């Protein structure tokens, strides 16, 4: 069995959905489980809806209407697919979403509400694609991945309960997937009280890897709008080149530092079972793309990773005493509690600094808790983190140019530069 994953960009319009139909038809003879993300930018849109609903901004209805219009325009673009089954299903799902966002919610419940609401992007997109394929004569079975991806209740960043997930996938899903193509959602799972959970933004790659691991799949293919894994984001660097073969560990490093082509958690489950990962272009599906596997490939290119919207937090004790183990213990436990992942940490005698993604709603609460510990917190926003992996001579100059370096860190063959 093979696992295919299509991201939001591949289903951003009706032509995208039709293109998936063509790619799947080319693989008609294979046993496939297909993981699909929310269409286009609808996850961002749903995030706005969560905000509107939790803070009662009065925009809920307008945002819902926009979301509906967007999806219905895709449905209408699929011509004969205005099948009543499809329209019924989609109307029902929207009705459910409407009822959900009308339920009063408080800012304290933000992460929980987020998961319940944002999951609809994936539910809608997979329904549309599944129905479209059926009307095209491509037999498939839509399944709700929340029945199989079992998680804890760390909302917005849920952890997989591997034993349960593996058991239910091999007992219940495997027999089904052996018989016909399965269409399912990435990114979403089920928590301890049957609530919806999500695996973190861009988490659909990870879902594909989880299914692959539990089904002992032959391979995973992530279909992207780029040729494969490049040594830099081609939107940022003109001469970015394709990496045809990549070892698992290089792929983990690159993904971890923010190479957005692969979600960081994706590789480990695949590596554990030696399942190769292909990253291929849905625009040119016959091109080879990148193969990530255990074959020992020497990565002979420098890789450049750009992460925007970074924030630097510098913590000091108010009485100018040293930052000691006890402070660090408290700081790290607050970071964990607020689910902030540090991209860089650095400490000196009197200060502790960390760099993190600037995520709505997370940092403000953390800062106020840090201040309660008697620490002063200085924040610098709108920074960019540039990572050079496997640098060669001249790499630094190429990417940094005249940018002001705020913080620099070097470990092994990786260098990080926080720049303004
Ligand atoms: N739809 C989710 C997101 O945009 C998950 C994914 O696409 O992987 O983050
Ligand atoms: Mg996406």
Per-residue pLDDT of 193-240, as tens digits, reads 999 999 999 999 999 999 999 999 999 999 999 899 999 988 888 888
Hey, what are 45's tokens? 């849109």
Architecture field, domain 2-217: 3-Layer(aba) Sandwich (3.40)
Q: Residue 82: pLDDT above 80?
A: no
**What's the CA gap between 119 and 216, in Å, rounded?**
26
Mean pLDDT, rounded, for 5-27: 97
CATH 3.30.2130.10 in the chain is located at: 303-419
> CB of 201 closer than 6 A to ligand 1?
yes
Q: Residue 287: pLDDT above 60?
A: yes
Helices 110-118 and 42-55 pack at an angle, to 10 degrees, of 140
**Cβ atoms 292, 219 nearer than 8 A:** no
Mean pLDDT, rounded, for 83-89: 87
Q: Tens digits of per-residue pLDDT, 234-266?
A: 888 888 899 999 999 899 888 887 776 788 899
What atom of ligand 1 comes closest to residue 121's alpha carbon?
A: 1
Report the length, in residues, of the chain: 420
**What's the CA gap between 250 and 229, in Å, rounded?**
11
> CB of 60 closer than 6 A to ligand 1?
no
**Cβ atoms 215, 184 nearer than 8 A:** no
pLDDT given for residue 298 in this prediction: 81
Three-state secondary structure call for residue 218: coil
Q: Residue 313: pLDDT above 70?
A: yes
CATH 3.40.1160.10 in the chain is located at: 2-217
> CB of 121 closer than 6 A to ligand 1?
yes
Whole-number average pLDDT of the chain:
93
Hey, what are 214's tokens? 């539990």
pLDDT given for residue 163 in this prediction: 98
Q: Tens digits of per-residue pLDDT, 88-118?
A: 999 999 999 999 999 989 999 999 999 999 9
Pocket probe mutation, ligand 1, options 10, 43, 279, max atoms within 8 Å of Cβ: 43
pLDDT given for residue 322 in this prediction: 86
**Cβ atoms 39, 68 nearer than 8 A:** no
Q: Residue 170: pLDDT above 70?
A: yes
Please identify every residue whose CB atom is under 5 Å from ligand 2, which is an ion. Answer: 7-8, 37
Beta-carbon contacts of residue 355 (< 8 Å; ≥ 6 apart) = 310, 311, 312, 313, 342, 343, 344, 345, 383, 385, 407, 418
- Residue of 86, 91, 93 lying closest to 133 (CA atoms): 86
**Cβ atoms 43, 121 nearer than 8 A:** yes
Sign of the CA dihedral 42, 43, 49, 53? positive
Cβ density class 333-367: b for 16+ within 10 Å, e for less: ebbeebebeebbebeeeebbbbbbbeeebbbeebb
> CB of 7 closer than 6 A to ligand 1?
yes
Q: Determine phi and psi for 343, rounding to 5 degrees.
A: -80, -30
Q: Residue 295: pLDDT above 90?
A: no
The fourth-level CATH superfamily of domain 303-419 is VC0802-like (3.30.2130.10)
Beta strands in 7-91 (DSSP E): 32-36
pTM over 0.85: yes
**Please, where are the H alpha helices in 169-289?**
174-179, 204-215, 248-256, 267-272
**What's the CA gap between 29 and 379, in Å, rounded?**
55
Residue at token pair 């479209």: 132
């Amino acid at each position: 069995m093979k696992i295919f994953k299509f991201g939001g960009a591949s289903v951003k319009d009706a032509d995208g959905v039709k293109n998936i139909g063509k790619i799947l038809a080319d693989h008609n003879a294979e046993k496939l489980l297909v993981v699909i993300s929310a269409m286009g930018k609808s996850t961002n849109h749903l995030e706005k809806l969560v905000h509107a609903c939790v803070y009662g901004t009065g925009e809920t209805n307008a945002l819902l209407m926009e979301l509906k219009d967007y999806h219905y325009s895709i449905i209408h673009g699929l011509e004969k697919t205005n099948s009543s089954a499809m329209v019924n299903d989609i109307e029902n799902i929207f009705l459910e979403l409407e009822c959900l966002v009308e339920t009063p919610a408080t800012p304290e419940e933000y992460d929980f509400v987020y998961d319940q609401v944002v999951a609809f992007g994936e539910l809608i997109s997979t329904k549309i694609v599944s129905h479209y394929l059926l009307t095209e004569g491509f037999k498939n079975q839509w399944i709700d991945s929340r029945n199989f991806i079992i998680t804890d209740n760390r909302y917005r960043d849920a952890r997989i309960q591997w034993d349960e997930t593996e058991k239910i996938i091999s007992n219940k899903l495997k027999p089904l997937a052996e018989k016909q193509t399965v269409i399912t959602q990435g990114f979403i799972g089920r928590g301890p009280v049957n609530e919806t959970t999500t695996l973190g933004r861009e988490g659909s790659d990870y879902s594909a890897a989880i299914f692959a691991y539990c089904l002992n799949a032959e391979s995973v293919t992530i279909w992207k709008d780029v040729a494969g894994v490049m040594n830099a984001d081609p939107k940022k660097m003109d001469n970015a080149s394709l990496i045809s073969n990549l070892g698992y560990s290089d792929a983990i490093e690159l993904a971890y530092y923010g190479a957005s082509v692969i979600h960081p958690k994706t590789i480990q489950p695949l590596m554990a079972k030696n399942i190769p990962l292909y990253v291929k272009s849905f625009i040119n599906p016959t091109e080879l793309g990148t193969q990530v596997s255990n074959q020992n490939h020497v990565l002979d290119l420098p890789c450049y990773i750009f992460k925007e919207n970074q924030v630097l937090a510098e913590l000091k004790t108010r009485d100018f005493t040293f930052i000691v183990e006890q402070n660090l213990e408290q700081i790290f436990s607050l970071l964990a509690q607020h689910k902030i992942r540090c991209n860089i940490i650095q400490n000196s005698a009197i200060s502790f600094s960390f760099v993190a993604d600037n995520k709505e709603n997370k940092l403000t609460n953390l800062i106020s808790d840090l201040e309660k510990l008697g620490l002063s917190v200085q924040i610098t926003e709108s920074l960019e983190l540039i990572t050079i992996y496997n640098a060669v001579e001249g790499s630094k100059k190429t990417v940094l140019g005249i940018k002001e370096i705020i913080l620099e860190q070097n470990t092994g063959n990786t260098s990080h530069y926080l720049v303004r």
